[in-house]
Amino acid sequence: KNEVEQSPQNLTAQEGEFITINCSYSVGISALHWLQQHPGGGIVSLFMLSSGKKKHGRLIATINIQEKHSSLHITASHPRDSAVYICAVIPYQGAQKLVFGQGTRLTINP
Amino acid sequence: GAGVSQSPSNKVTEKGKDVELRCDPISGHTALYWYRQSLGQGLEFLIYFQGNSAPDKSGLPSDRFSAERTGGSVSTLTIQRTQQEDSAVYLCASSRPPGQGFQETQYFGPGTRLLVL
């Protein structure tokens, strides 16, 4: 079993829909990242959080440390949001390496 | 300002050859990470450098892989005697030094796409 599990693996929605991507992890962590990767493009860090909730534009990320769970929400989704969204954690062991989920491929149709 | 840069952007090599991949981190970022993204495997950690500390090499998949960071800035990832399973996108990221009890955002380069024939 992977230390970081995302769901769903693939998600197709219509423009304007509210999107939720979930991430569960099995280890103690010091921080969690949500990353975005466009086709053929590089990786951009959207959020880094260790507690509570963060918001940036139409994107909202939440984390529940006790339940080892995080969600990424997109409000009023747009075709340009189509990308792979990756959850990654930094485990407590003291190393700084990211441990990645498998990613969620999001497609927003006009 | 300039982001993380990597070169080459694409590399095609023959099985058994050695390759060198280069990463230029953001100026002032003392932490540097190498990751690999293989088709169907997702992203995986390879190696981490922080300042003058000994690197964390725990993610290197075999002794054919090595990396160095000269002068605390540019890093080179070397793969010796390449195999077809080494084909992947190799990503570099950098950050400000993580502190006690807090982490720093990692900024990713565009990656080097390696194809071993």
Give the lowest-confidence range in A40-44, A77-81, B44-48, B79-83: A40-44
User: Taking 60 as the threshold, does the pLDDT of residue B1 lie above it?
Assistant: no
Q: Which sign does the torsion angle of CA A7, A93, B79, B108 carry? A: positive
User: Taking 60 as the threshold, does the pLDDT of residue B46 lie above it?
Assistant: yes
Model confidence pLDDT, tens digit, residues A44-65: 999 999 899 999 999 999 999 9
B-chain CB neighbours of A5 within 8 Å are none
User: Taking 70 as the threshold, does the pLDDT of residue A32 lie above it?
Assistant: yes
User: Taking 90 as the threshold, does the pLDDT of residue A92 lie above it?
Assistant: no
Contact B43/A96, CB-based, under 8 Å?
Answer: no
Averaged pLDDT, B52-60:
90
**Residue A24: predicted pLDDT:** 97
**Residue A40: predicted pLDDT:** 77
Interface test with chain A among B36, B43, B96, by most A beta carbons within 10 Å = B43
* pLDDT, averaged across chain B: 91
User: Taking 80 as the threshold, does the pLDDT of residue B100 lie above it?
Assistant: no
**Residue A1: predicted pLDDT:** 64
User: Which candidate, B108, B67, B69, B70, places its Cα nearest to that of B89?
Assistant: B108
**Residue A95: predicted pLDDT:** 65
Which whole-number Å values give the CA distances from A17 to A38, A76, B26, B86, in the listed order? Answer: 19, 6, 37, 39
User: Taking 90 as the threshold, does the pLDDT of residue B34 lie above it?
Assistant: yes
Averaged pLDDT, B53-68:
93
- Which chain A residues touch B if contact means CB-CB below 8 Å? 30-31, 33, 35, 41-45, 48, 50, 86, 88, 90, 95-103
User: Taking 90 as the threshold, does the pLDDT of residue B72 lie above it?
Assistant: no
* pLDDT, averaged across chain A: 93
CA distance A23 to B50: 28
